[in-house]
């Protein structure tokens, strides 16, 4: 099936600054793709080029196979939800939703029905006469998404619309956006700096940093098989270690030296050569505290608890490990018994499986 | 403790000693007093004006008679020249307001929206420069530029075209007034446009509206309170303007303020001058009140209901 959106080596420069560099991606019909990265990584510029507010410096953008690089926004079939929503304050919710229908010359007799249908889709039946400032934050979000979808666009763009909401409402709206998106099967590109939002909402995730796409994959693949140090560090709570390859085995098995210790690990991505400097990454939930006995793990080190952070459902321990060149590791523990007994300053034994220590060739 | 902290602490202690906390509710009113006094003085002046206007001039003594009479208002109604001048003033004010807003809006829009720093700087300098040149000086400047032997006419004759009478008629006065009012209007419209997030226009575009439709349905309605405010200021300033009609009109196209001036200082009839002033103040107030009533209480964005 042909992708709805296809970017081929798209770049955008502002003066000397390269905001987006040779970005290529494609989104299949009905998919939800999230572009995620730290602020200033180029994700918003990428979205603006797809929407038509910026023109690429080079490369091409195709929507349903047609090049749109120079097509103005009002001729593109794209619904967009803006970061600050940009609801028209002088119009009611219903007038806001009717606006794209009027501008796109829908027959006047079908407009009231469509407005009503979409108000109900976003669960705002009966609130159509309210002005935006008379609606709550969550209700405004719903109006904005109804307005962006009511004219059945080929593509929906979300420019961090949830970032201003408090956490509980944000998580509720994430699921709500996803429900509506699935119900209408509308192809969607979402932009966010929130890794959790990306993992929760997406079929596909694109990780960007410094204008370059670092990796594009499903949420699971991205989390389990990060392509490089940046992606590994950006998602989840991850400790990064500097090491050196001492032995390369079969099936990605490698041994790396970190500090004075040789650890069993798993090579990811590019082929590794003996003696090469590498980045090692391990996720906090993969490290076990051997204090309560976890036999048969491939790597075992001793450390001292520096910090113990109680987060309710879990406790985060920050542990200094002298044998790994005084590296500081973060790990979670959900075992209430250990919570009670482990204190700051205490010596603990940490252990993990070889496959949980990911090794990447150093990026130049 | 850093020196600045100690300094600020001392000031706070002094303020606390001079203005105890229980007076704090009155602080706002205390700051409001000078403004209230100023308005009060104006109201008293207006009262005196009303009082003057109700006494007829005694032509034997050239003093106002003691008894009350409506003679001055009768004079205003009976002499067609006052009606003509008042009509010319109102018409001129409406024209000047309309043309000024039409010219000021695009200027303000570009000033706010341009991404090119030097364009913004140039527009800002051009905006403030006229404020350094008083109205009378500027009017004389136009005399030099537009006069019979002026710059424009020497250009025209240089091109072999006949010289034109560019001065001393109604269009010349309107031109001078528009030129004078433009910076005021721009300054009042700029905040209204700044208050419209650019994403509003982008949203409108992405929803299918080309720029003219976006302007009509989004930019204009959202800038409306600022436009009304600017219009009211330009209208009232023009209604009461004296110098431009006097100098560029050359006595042929007096505005009402000239008539008031003449009553006071040419024919030395303060009663008539006061009556004419009352007419102008009343008419102006009625028009402004009508505009605000039509435009709604949200005008000037004071209510802040628009988010």
Model pLDDT, residue A100: 97
Q: Does A97 touch chain B (CB under 8 A)?
A: no
Check the CA dihedral A149-A151-A152-A158 and report its sign: negative
The pTM for the full model equals 0.84
- Gyration radius (Cα) of chain A, Å: 24
Query: Cβ–Cβ of A99/B204 closer than 8 Å?
Result: yes
Category of B90 on φ-ψ map: left (φ > 0), alpha (ψ -120 to 50) or beta: alpha
CB pairs < 8 Å spanning A and B:
68
Model pLDDT, residue B158: 87
- Mark which residues 219-278 of B lie under 8 Å from A by CB: 221-222
- Find the closest chain B residue to A87 by CA distance: B200
Query: Cβ–Cβ of A52/B222 closer than 8 Å?
Result: no
Query: Cβ–Cβ of B217/A73 closer than 8 Å?
Result: no
- Find the closest chain B residue to A144 by CA distance: B203
- How confident is the model over A46-104, as pLDDT tens digits? 999 999 999 999 999 999 988 988 889 999 999 999 999 999 999 999 999 999 999 99
Query: Cβ–Cβ of B199/A76 closer than 8 Å?
Result: no
Exposed, middle or buried by CB within 10 Å (0-12, 13-18, 19+), for A288? Answer: buried
Query: Cβ–Cβ of B206/A51 closer than 8 Å?
Result: yes
Chain B residues within an 8 Å CB radius of A76: 206
Per-residue pLDDT of chain A (364 residues; tens, 9 = 90+): 678 999 999 999 998 889 999 999 999 999 999 999 998 899 999 999 999 999 999 999 999 988 988 889 999 999 999 999 999 999 999 999 999 999 999 999 999 999 999 999 999 998 999 999 999 999 999 999 999 999 999 999 999 998 888 889 999 999 999 999 999 999 999 999 999 899 999 999 999 999 999 999 999 999 988 988 999 999 889 999 999 999 888 777 899 999 989 999 988 867 788 888 999 999 999 998 865 555 668 888 989 999 998 888 888 999 999 999 999 999 988 776 666 678 888 888 898 999 899 998 887 6
Distances in Å between the alpha carbon of A251 and those of A248, A283, A355? 9, 21, 11
B120 Cβ contact partners less than 8 Å away, ≥ 6 residues apart: B111, B114
Query: Cβ–Cβ of B305/A147 closer than 8 Å?
Result: no
Chain A: closest CA distance from residue B160 (Å):
48
Query: Cβ–Cβ of A72/B221 closer than 8 Å?
Result: no
- Find the closest chain A residue to B221 by CA distance: A90
Model pLDDT, residue B306: 42
The strand pair at A253-258 and A238-248 is best described as: antiparallel
B161 Cβ contact partners less than 8 Å away, ≥ 6 residues apart: none
Query: Cβ–Cβ of B205/A74 closer than 8 Å?
Result: yes
- Find the closest chain A residue to B201 by CA distance: A86
Chain A residues within an 8 Å CB radius of B116: none
Task: Return the domain boundaries, chain B.
Answer: 79-300
pLDDT along chain B (307 residues), means of 10: 89 88 84 94 95 91 88 93 94 96 96 94 92 87 85 86 84 93 95 94 95 95 92 95 89 88 91 95 93 72 45
Model pLDDT, residue B219: 96
CATH of B79-300, one of 3.40.50.2300, 3.20.20.80, 3.65.10.10, 1.10.3720.10: 1.10.3720.10
Chain A residues within an 8 Å CB radius of B306: 89-90, 133
Q: Does A14 touch chain B (CB under 8 A)?
A: no
User: Does ipTM come in above 0.95?
Assistant: no
Report d(CA B214, CA B202) in Å as an integer: 9
Report d(CA B69, CA A303) in Å as an integer: 104
Residue of A53, A90, A99 with shortest CB distance to B207: A99
Q: Give, for A229, the enclosing helix (H) or strand (E).
A: helix A229-234
Chain A: closest CA distance from residue B118 (Å):
16
- Find the closest chain B residue to A146 by CA distance: B207
Report d(CA B113, CA B106) in Å as an integer: 10
- Within 13 Å, how many C-alpha atoms sit on residue A298's CB side? 15
Report d(CA B207, CA A77) in Å as an integer: 9
Residue of B200, B208, B306 with shortest CB distance to A103: B208
């Amino acid at each position: 099936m042909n992708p709805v959106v296809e970017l081929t080596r798209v770049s955008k420069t502002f003066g000397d600054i390269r905001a987006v560099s040779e970005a290529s991606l494609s989104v299949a019909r009905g998919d939800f793709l999230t572009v995620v990265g730290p602020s200033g990584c180029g994700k918003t510029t990428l979205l603006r080029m797809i929407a038509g507010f910026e023109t690429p410096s080079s490369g091409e953008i195709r929507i349903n196979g047609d090049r749109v690089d120079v097509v103005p926004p009002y001729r593109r079939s794209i619904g967009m939800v803006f970061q600050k929503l940009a609801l028209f304050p002088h119009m009611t919710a219903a007038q806001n939703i009717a606006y794209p229908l009027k501008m796109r010359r829908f027959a006047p007799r079908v407009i009231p029905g469509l407005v009503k249908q979409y108000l109900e889709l976003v669960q705002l039946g009966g609130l159509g006469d309210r002005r935006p400032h008379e609606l709550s934050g969550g209700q405004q979000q719903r109006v904005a998404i109804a307005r962006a979808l009511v004219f059945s666009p080929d593509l929906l763009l979300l420019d961090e619309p949830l970032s201003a909401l408090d956490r509980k409402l944000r998580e509720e709206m994430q699921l709500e956006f996803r429900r509506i998106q699935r119900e209408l099967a509308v192809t969607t590109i979402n932009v966010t700096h929130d890794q959790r939002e990306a993992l929760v909402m997406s079929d596909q995730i694109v990780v960007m940093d410094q204008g370059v796409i670092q990796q594009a994959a499903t949420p699971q693949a991205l989390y389990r098989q990060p392509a490089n140090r940046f992606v590994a560090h950006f998602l989840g709570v991850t400790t990064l270690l500097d090491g050196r390859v001492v032995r390369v085995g079969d099936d990605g098995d490698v041994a790396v030296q970190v500090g004075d210790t040789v650890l069993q690990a798993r090579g990811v991505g590019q082929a590794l050569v003996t003696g090469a400097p590498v980045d090692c990454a391990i996720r906090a939930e993969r490290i076990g505290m051997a204090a309560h006995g976890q036999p048969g793990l491939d790597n075992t080190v001793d450390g001292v608890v520096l910090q113990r952070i109680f987060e309710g459902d879990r406790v985060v321990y920050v542990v200094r490990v002298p044998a790994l060149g005084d590296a500081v590791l973060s790990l979670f523990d959900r075992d209430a018994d250990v919570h009670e007994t482990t204190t700051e300053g205490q010596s603990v034994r940490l252990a993990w499986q070889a496959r949980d220590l990911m090794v990447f060739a150093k990026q130049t | 403790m850093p020196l600045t902290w100690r300094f600020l602490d001392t000031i706070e202690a002094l303020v606390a000693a001079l203005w105890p906390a229980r007076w704090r509710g009155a602080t706002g009113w205390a700051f409001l007093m000078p403004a209230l006094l100023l308005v009060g003085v104006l109201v008293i002046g207006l009262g005196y004006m009303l009082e003057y206007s109700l006494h007829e001039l005694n032509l034997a003594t050239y003093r106002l008679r003691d008894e009350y009479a409506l003679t001055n208002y009768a004079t205003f109604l009976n002499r067609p020249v006052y009606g003509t001048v008042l009509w010319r003033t109102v018409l001129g004010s409406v024209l000047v307001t309309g043309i000024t807003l039409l010219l000021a809006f695009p200027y303000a829009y570009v000033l706010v929206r341009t991404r090119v720093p030097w364009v913004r700087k140039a527009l800002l300098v051009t905006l403030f420069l006229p404020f350094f040149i008083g109205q009378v000086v500027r009017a004389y400047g136009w005399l030099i530029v537009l006069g019979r032997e002026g710059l424009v006419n020497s250009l025209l004759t240089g091109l072999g075209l006949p010289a034109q009478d560019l001065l001393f008629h109604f269009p010349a006065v309107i031109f001078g007034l528009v030129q004078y009012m433009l910076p005021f209007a721009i300054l009042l419209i700029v905040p209204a446009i700044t208050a419209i997030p650019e994403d509003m226009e982008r949203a409108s575009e992405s929803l299918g509206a080309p720029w003219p439709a976006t302007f009509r349905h989004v930019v204009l309605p959202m800038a409306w309170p600022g436009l009304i405010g600017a219009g009211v200021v330009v209208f009232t300033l023009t209604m009461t303007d004296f110098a431009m009609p006097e100098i560029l009109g050359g006595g042929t196209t007096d505005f009402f303020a000239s008539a008031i001036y003449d009553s006071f200082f040419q024919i030395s009839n303060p009663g008539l001058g006061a009556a004419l002033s009352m007419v102008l103040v009343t008419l102006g107030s009625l028009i402004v009140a009508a505009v605000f009533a039509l435009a709604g209480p949200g005008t000037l964005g004071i209510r802040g209901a628009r988010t």
